[in-house]
Amino acid sequence: MAGTGIFGGSFDPIHHGHLRIAEEFADALGLATVRLVPTANPPHRKGAVASDAARLAMCQLACEGNARLQVDDRELRREGVCYTIDTLVEIGAELGPEAPLTWLIGADSFLSLDRWHRWRELFDLGCLAVACRPGFDLVRWQERASAALLEEVLPRIQSLSVTPTYKMGTIALLPTTPLAISSTAIRAQLAAGHSARYLLPDAVLDYAERHLLYGPGK
């Protein structure tokens, strides 16, 4: 595979778990660029704690010094509810048909893929790569998956044993280094007045502290 990876998230705040899987995706799939897309008003989750501007600033700080990582703020600029499908359509149109797109998600999101807006159309726009921590078990995934996922998503999965090749509509399950870091846990540490150092880049933590984004009382 080559081309551009799209990695959406609340990034509230962005942390080393996100950055590491972006890096590993880029290597495994030969991506020239991974675009981090902070999401606004996620349709199936409650809103972010930090403002859009703060989450964007933290993403930009996190990507400094890494030429492969870019921040794409289009969802924060869009009015109303944002869907991944709209973002992929827009980026695909901008990059043109010769530039393959791969959207990157965590394994937890993979089980709820059939609840995404117009999810079937996502496969017409590029490939999907799923970050699988060690222990990810496709058999267990199938036991929990809906009928729609089993019928329409399972057949798209490429063999885990071969290097993924870019073919529109396919799914690559990629092993990733387990880093049990979450934004929720970081916010909880900071709210409790504890250190979150080494869970996220220093520049991001400094920004969060300076702007009192998640401190005690938040």
User: Of 181, 196, 200, 205, which one interacts with ligand ATP (CB under 6 A)?
Assistant: 181
Q: Is 184 near ligand ATP (CB under 6 A)? A: yes
Nearer to ligand ATP, 122 or 131 (CB): 131
Q: Is 109 near ligand ATP (CB under 6 A)? A: yes
Q: Give least dist CB 22 to ligand ATP, A.
A: 9
Among candidate residues 90, 157, 156, 86, the one with its CA nearest the CA of residue 118: 86
Q: Is 179 near ligand ATP (CB under 6 A)? A: yes
State the Cα–Cα distance between residues 21 and 112, nearest whole angstrom: 20
User: Of 71, 92, 183, 200, which one interacts with ligand ATP (CB under 6 A)?
Assistant: 183
Q: Determine phi and psi for 12, rounding to 5 degrees.
A: -125, 65
> From residue 31 to residue 70, what is the string marking binding to ligand ATP with x (rule CB under 6 A)?
----------------------------------------
Q: Is 175 near ligand ATP (CB under 6 A)? A: no
DSSP bridge partners of 172: 129
State the Cα–Cα distance between residues 170 and 31, nearest whole angstrom: 16
Residues 5-34 that bind ligand ATP (CB under 6 A): 9-12, 17-18, 21
First and final CA of the chain: distance in angstroms?
A: 43
- The token duo for 25 is 């995706």
What length is written for the chain? 218
- The token duo for 45 is 């989750």
Helix, strand or coil for residue 129?
strand
Q: Give least dist CB 62 to ligand ATP, A.
A: 12
List of residues contacting ligand ATP (CB under 6 A)? 9-12, 17-18, 21, 105-106, 108-109, 131, 179, 181-184
